[in-house]
Amino acid sequence: MTITHDVTDVMIARLRRMIAEPTEATYTNEDLETLIEETACVDSDGYPPDNDNWTATYDLNKVASEIWGEKASALADEFDYNADGGNYRKNQKYQNALNLSAYYASRAKIVTHSQHQTPVEDEYDEDFTDIYGSIN
């Protein structure tokens, strides 16, 4: 089955505002569309993205958090310093990017996974001997 994704221009524009990237200089619309599509999630009716009845549902907050994390990585080498009687606090950009990454991560959809246990084969026969012989 082919999943058709319905990322709209409105979603891309909203994401651009969330990540403070109004132009395509750093992230093209195609880049953002790909990142948005990777966050396809269960819709409000409980249908997963691979179901024919699925309504396009994405997690823009998760994408924004990941992009702000990328921005923080690019700024990690900037540091504060004093020179010529001035204080230069370049670390503020890095801290701001980390804060925004955490902010959007806290607003992202909750992801849950189900685990199902299968019965374990009995390793003992009726005489209480293990598969290697006697347990005595």
pLDDT exceeds cutoff 90 at 104: yes
Q: Which residue has the higher pLDDT, 116 or 101?
A: 101
Domain locations along the chain:
9-107
Residue 47: pLDDT over 80: yes
pLDDT value at residue 125: 56
Does residue 123 or residue 69 have the better pLDDT? 69
Please give the pLDDT value at position 64. 98
Distance, first Cα to last Cα, the chain:
56
pTM value > 0.85: no
For the chain, helix, strand, coil in percent to 5 are 40, 5, 55
